[in-house]
Structure 1
Amino acid sequence: MSIFKHAADILEAKVSKLLSKAEDPAETLELSYEKMITSLQDAKRHLADVVTERVSLENQIAQAQTLAAKAEADARMALNAGREDLARSALAEKQAGAQKIAALQEAHDRVAAQAQKLMEYEQALQDRIEQFRTQKEVMKSQMAAAQAQVKVTASLTGLGHGLDDAGDTLRRMQDRTAHEQAKAQAMDGLLASGIIDDPLDHRTQTEREMDKLRATSGVDDDLARLKADLAAKQG
């Protein structure tokens, strides 16, 4: 791997990491939902335009059919009046109207089929948007619960702000206490062995040893006395 390829990979990884931190999944879901709503509104507008064209064609067909019926009625009237020439003219108008009706009907059928497809598409899109909205709300709720759990767990384990400092302080206090306890025990041992002196104790080393011996002897005497009393009572 070349140094340039390696540098490019590092840069891409850093950019991806920054984008991941900057992106808010909840906002992304809302943006996707808004885009779907916009698509639905566009589909509704297109459907309205096509339906309008279909209705216009239906009105033109109805008007042409009315004119064709009138032309046939005029032809009958002309024949009754002995005017075959007028009857021919009226029937010619009827034939022209029939051709117009056929062309309008063909256009109407195409537009009606297009309108039907748009209605099906609009309904499918609306169903999909509703499904996405439900999934979006569920995912947002799950994400909020997960984020809350992460924060609580981080606090309890000391990964969050506050307890991590408290944990460090507690550990330092424990170490300091253990150190002071060890130091006190060492001082007691040195004092008892006579290596260091109590400034308030003006006895000599010999006097201290004798006092310690007398204290020990006194304890032994008291213990022997209590044992003798107990044996006398049991006897």
Structure 2
Amino acid sequence: MGIFSRLHDIINSNITAMLDKAENPEKIIRLVIQEMEDTLVEVRSDAARTIAEKKKLQRHIDIMHAEIGDWQRKAELALSKDREDLARAALKEKHNLENAAASMDMELEALEGQLVQLNQDTAKLQKKLDDAKARHKTMMMKQKTVSGRLRTREKLHDTRIDDALSRFETVEQKMEHMEGRVESFDVGRDPTLEDKFAELEAEDI
């Protein structure tokens, strides 16, 4: 199973559980990012182990090739001394080592293929993680803006504001009524000289 298939199963399982609990979307996004980060750490650990295995196998192959060359020299030495029996024994040892080395070469090739795949998977996962973090940041900014707008709308539609405005209008009406009563005393009579000076003095207050 590839890392993306495994990650997909883990995330789907956790998200389903959170949806059943009616968790908020922001918390779900954080979970997805956390799962991706954990998987990225796991993939990089796998890559580190594979690299170590490759280095160890390469050392064994190098040692084996040195031994193959050594048995080749021994076979040549035996032939120079007319010891065909020893030459054949040396060549047999060389042949066995060559078979073992060929098997190790195949194993090394497989490890190199795994490393290529791990590098590709790591790059893809890192890109998806960066994208998820950027989208999460955008979502949080949008949520903050929307929350602010919602609070403003709620205040605008708050009945307490309407009640306060209604009481304010009542006070205004009472003031207008009082002004009307004051002005009613002047109805039908001309202001005296003293009244006119009183008005002038009132304007300076």
Shift of 1:132: 1.3
| 1:3-34 per-position Cα deviation (integer Å, ceiling 9, x unaligned) | xxxxxxxxxxxxx8x83xx62x4333222211
In the other structure, the counterpart of 1:151 is 151
Are 1:104 and 2:104 matched, yes or no? yes
| 1:84-117 per-position Cα deviation (integer Å, ceiling 9, x unaligned) | 2211111111000110011111111122212211
CA RMSD of aligned residues (A): 3.2
| 1:30-89 per-position Cα deviation (integer Å, ceiling 9, x unaligned) | 222111100100111112222222222222211111110110011111212222221111
Task: Say which structure, 1 or 2, has more relative contact order (CA 8 Å, 6+ apart).
Answer: 2
**Number of aligned residue pairs:** 168
In the other structure, the counterpart of 1:195 is none
Identity %: 18
Q: Please show how residues 44-193 of structure 1 align to structure 2 within 5 Å.
A: 44-155=44-155, 157-159=156-158, 164-175=159-170, 178=173
In the other structure, the counterpart of 1:199 is none
Task: Show structure 1 runs of 5+ residues with no match.
Answer: 1-15, 188-214, 220-235
Distance 2:85 2:43 in 1: 53
Distance 1:112 1:102 in 2: 15
Distance 1:115 1:103 in 2: 19
Distance 2:120 2:89 in 1: 46
Normalised TM-score (structure 1): 0.61
Are 1:31 and 2:26 matched, yes or no? no
Q: Secondary structure at the match of 1:82?
A: coil
Shift of 1:173: 4.7
Larger Rg computed on CA atoms: 1
In the other structure, the counterpart of 2:15 is none
In the other structure, the counterpart of 1:3 is none
Task: Show structure 2 runs of 5+ residues with no match.
Answer: 1-18, 182-186, 191-205
Aligned in 2, Cα 1:173/1:131: closer, same or farther, shift over 3 Å?
closer
Shift of 1:170: 2.8
Q: Secondary structure at the match of 1:63?
A: helix
Distance 2:140 2:116 in 1: 36
Distance 1:119 1:146 in 2: 40
Distance 2:123 2:48 in 1: 14
Structure 1 segments (4+ residues) deviating >6 Å? 179-182
Shift of 1:175: 4.5
Normalised TM-score (structure 2): 0.69
In the other structure, the counterpart of 2:5 is none
Shift of 1:176: 7.0
